[in-house]
A and B are shown apart, each in its own frame.
Chain A
Amino acid sequence: MTDINNNQWKFTSIENIEESHFDRSLERFFGMGVMGLVRENIQNSLDGYLYDDKPVIVKIKTGEMRATDVPGIDNLRERINTLEGRNNYTKETIKHMNEKIKQNRIRYMSFEDENTKGLTGAENGQTNSKSDTWGIYAYNKGFHFEEENISKEEIRGGSHGVGKIASNAASDLHAMFFSNCDDKNQKHLGGTVQLVEHWFNGQAYRSTGYFTDAQRENGLLKYYPFSNESNHPFRKDTRGLKIIIPFLREEYDDQMAIVKSVCDSFFVSILKNKLEVHINDQVINKDNLTDYVYNDQYYEQSVENMKDVFTPMYVDTYLNYPIEKDLVVESKDETYQFKLFFKYDEKISKGRTAIIRTVGMKIEDFKVNGYATKPYNAVVIGDKKADAYLKSLENESHTEISNKHINDKYLKSNATRFINNLSRAIKKHIDDAIQENNQMDGIMDTKDIIYTVERKFKNDLQKATETVRVGNGKSLRKTKGNSSKKERRNRADAETNATGDKGEKRNKRDPLKFKKAKGDGKVVDEKQRYSTYPETVERLRLDDHEILQFDFSSSKLLMGVTECDVVLAVIDGTGKEYSDEFKVDSNFTRAIDLGTGQDCRLLKNKITNVKVNNGIIKLRLDYDRKMNKSLKFIYYLEVE
């Protein structure tokens, strides 16, 4: 049973203690430091915007106050004193809390928004009505607003509803307050504290405590908020919400870090005049954002050295490099559009893409797979539809889009597809930019090293192939094979005129070509083997014999040679050569050397002991009855 009369902090009673640790999210948000806290609170403020034409103003203050001014501090102290840790970490934390709560003067931080709706329906207390955002925010642990207007819901951030706990994490006591002023000028104060399950006055209680009033209705206990009669810093007199974190942990008490977090995550919101942030006496708005971002007190300004934080580049890209055409990315069942800002700069050492929600908050420094070191910088901003989808892909703390937390198989593969397509679409821009950039042909420093050579290849290739259109918008590549001698001659002339002696050379090639012996050991007697070009051979079939004549008189290779063997290789209808297929001894009855009138020996595929007279060979070959007379050959000479 909850003691409703004495305690401003309400804990739900339970039968027994089951969990003895602090909420896991506390540790994770603490790890994210100022950045996590700033992102969660400003995002909530942006979601509650009231006017389309006025920026949401978030006033962040840090300061000192008396511990006794914290509402319900005595109750809280009693609770904390009774906590018992069951493991080292919990023990440590409880010890820390007990030390801090003894302090008289404490630090605090507050986030107060203006031009926002604030929470509604506080007077209804704990309800399940979706329009009573107070009830949801104040009393549900994992809250998730649902706007009645769906399109607003889509562009709202906060997809996981654990944002509030970021504020608890910033307090040494895990305590936070929220002070609301609604459209009817009703002012309420609520709060939560994250302890561990504990025994108190012989009763076990849950870990979460609510700073709230309560009434018993129909036998059930129902929470109603206290109306806010507190003093600074808990007062909220204009419409909107104010988050107050007492016992601020010293890690969060860092003006510079707060300013940078605001710029890093919300530069688009601010530049679009959707947001203005005051941090104590510093104001960041659309007119002076660059004073911070382009300031080397806040940010590394050298592009080469930006390796973790890229905000100055993003801002530059966003302001100066919009791309006309939207980036279109498909998942399996939907098409999403992103506004793209893209800059290519060879000095950039880490290529990142800022993925931005419609509200203007950066989700991630997205690395395109394989392109993380390409010299580019990009900003992409989703439309409302894309926003809703991105939201489903975000991890709990809105800092990464991924498919890891999705369990449904289809949704997971859909997410993979989407992320791949997003990567691909950005890659394409990078590739195009790289290509485009490399075509820039400066006087001294042409980036495309291959360009000049390539240009020559291009010209030659264009000449060599022909693309023909065949109707239906289709085209084909056409090649005309080897042109005739006539054309070759003409071209050779042109070529000779253009480049000097190149055209001449090939006409003077040796009529023989040295052939290396094959590894199969067939050429046992160490003879040199030469292949002949068909143009140097004359062959004529007559009735029962053929005349075969070779003219190698211009061959340097055959100089001084007086005798050789002639080897016959048959060529089949596909152009394939068979060196052992045609046997001269079974197809010819006789081979006569017409130079000497002597018979030559026929041995397997060779005519041997053929006389060479000044490079000329003349043979008469008599056919066997069973010889196929429709054959064609390539000839080889073998020389000692």
Chain B
Amino acid sequence: MEIKLLKDGYKNIESLYEDFKADMIAENEEYFSEESVYIDQTPSFPIYIAKGSTEHKKKEFLEAFNTVTHSYLSLDRSILLSEHFWHSFLLIYKRNYIIGKYPEVLDNENKFKNIVLKKLDWENYIYKIILGAQYIADYINNEDQRQRYFGLIIDNLDLYNYIIKYEIFRNDDFLINILDIIDELGLSEILKAKIKGREDLGDDERYGRRVIFELNKSYPIVLSPMLSKDDLKDIFIEYLGYYYDVSDIKS
């Protein structure tokens, strides 16, 4: 299917939101550039997963991971991680889906921008889904295992967000190793918890984030993305030990 791309500067077109509401974008040539991309499949998937119960969000994430894995991952990165592509795709080809699923985009422009026109970076759900799906699918062929890893990401979302925030750790080996370590050592709950008794740290510091931050500060002396799982595990526990009593954890 041909996906026509919007012309540069589409974000600044004042009438964009009103025309989106009125379904007037697709037919207005003025919005389009000469460029287009071709993609085979265009199934819809949740693009904004911030609301509802934990169960609901989990279901939505899984649906998104699986849809992206099956239908989008084979695209060239120049398309797959192009904000221009996704915004064009959503605005023109997924309007009905978006309005059906996220009717609040019709309420006001801020909601619209936050859900549809969001910058494609680590805070964007599409970005989170693509990177997670790609890292897992590239390394894990077994379908059950894939679902397990998707589940691990969802269960450790706070840490996952923090990991992909840093370019250093936007890396497949690293993510899978970290998920394995958390799973093996049963650290999920601890890592999510807020750190107590350390007024010198920020208000919302959590054990998991601090461990990742220590890894960040140690880079590139410690090339954590290149470490095997067991080598990384030792360092992981050492760094956790700066903040948490790990005597019970050491395996």
Contacts and interface: CB of A to CB of B under 8 A. Distances in A.
Interface string B205-236: 00000000111111111100000000000000
A576 B221 CA distance: 15
B29 A573 contact: no
A48 to B, nearest CB: 40
A332 interface: yes
A302 interface: no
Interface in A559-579: 570-574
Contacts of B220: 573
Contact of B166 (A573, A626, A630): A573
A462 interface: no
Given A332-B29, A628-B239, A570 B217 contact: yes
A572 B200 contact: no
B241 interface: yes
Contacts of A581: 217
B168 interface: yes
B242 interface: yes
B241 A628 contact: no
Nearest to A604: B200
A413 B241 CA distance: 68
Interface residues of A, number: 16
Given A573-B216, A583-B200, A630-B221, A413 B29 contact: yes
Contact of B217 (A572, A586, A626): A572
B167 interface: yes
A631 interface: yes
A632 interface: yes
B166 A574 contact: yes
Contacts of B29: 332, 413, 417
A554 B121 CA distance: 46
Interface in A616-640: 626, 628, 630-632
Given A417-B29, A631-B218, 9 more contacts: A570-B217, A573-B168, A574-B167, A586-B200, A626-B242, A628-B214, A628-B217, A630-B217, A632-B221
Interface of B: 29, 166-168, 200, 213-222, 239, 241-242
A468 B64 CA distance: 39
A631 B216 CA distance: 10
A573 B219 contact: yes
B168 A631 contact: no
14 contacts: A413-B29, A417-B29, A570-B217, A572-B216, A572-B217, A572-B219, A573-B168, A573-B216, A573-B217, A573-B218, A573-B220, A574-B167, A574-B216, A630-B217
A598 to B, nearest CB: 27
B242 A628 contact: yes
A571 B221 CA distance: 12
Nearest to A586: B200
A574 B212 CA distance: 13
B218 A626 contact: no
Contacts of B167: 574
Contacts of A574: 166-168, 216
Contacts of A626: 241-242
A626 B219 CA distance: 18
A357 B129 CA distance: 59
Contacts of A630: 217-218, 221-222
B31 to A, nearest CB: 12
Contacts of B218: 573, 628, 630-631
B27 to A, nearest CB: 10
B125 to A, nearest CB: 23
A586 B29 CA distance: 63
A586 B201 CA distance: 13
Nearest to A631: B217
A466 to B, nearest CB: 22
Nearest to B218: A630
Interface in A206-223: none
A570 B221 CA distance: 13
Top-9 shortest CB links A-B: A573-B219, A630-B218, A630-B221, A573-B168, A573-B216, A572-B216, A630-B222, A572-B217, A626-B242
Contacts of B217: 570-573, 581, 628, 630-631
B166 to A, nearest CB: 6
A631 B166 CA distance: 17
A133 B214 CA distance: 93
A574 to B, nearest CB: 6
> Most chain-A Cβ atoms within 10 A of its Cβ — which of B166, B167, B217, B241?
B217
Contacts of B241: 626
Interface string A407-428: 0000001000100000000000
Nearest to A541: B221
A572 B200 CA distance: 18
Contacts of A628: 214, 217-218, 239, 242
Nearest to B222: A630
A210 B48 CA distance: 75
Contacts of B215: 573
A584 to B, nearest CB: 12
Contacts of B168: 573-574
A626 B220 CA distance: 20
A315 B167 CA distance: 65
A423 to B, nearest CB: 15
A546 to B, nearest CB: 13
Nearest to A573: B219
A572 B218 CA distance: 7
A80 B29 CA distance: 56
B165 to A, nearest CB: 10
Interface string A455-470: 0000000000000000
A20 to B, nearest CB: 45
A632 B220 CA distance: 10
Contacts of A631: 217-218, 221
Interface in A389-417: 413, 417
B88 to A, nearest CB: 20
A626 B240 CA distance: 10
A573 B217 CA distance: 5
A533 B218 CA distance: 21
A586 B241 CA distance: 15
A500 B215 CA distance: 48
Contacts of B222: 630
A631 B214 CA distance: 9
A406 B60 CA distance: 50
A631 B167 CA distance: 18
Contacts of A573: 166, 168, 215-220
Interface string A330-364: 00100000000000000000000000000000000
Contacts of A586: 200
Nearest to B219: A573
Nearest to A413: B29
A369 to B, nearest CB: 16
> Most chain-A Cβ atoms within 10 A of its Cβ — which of B167, B213, B221, B222?
B221
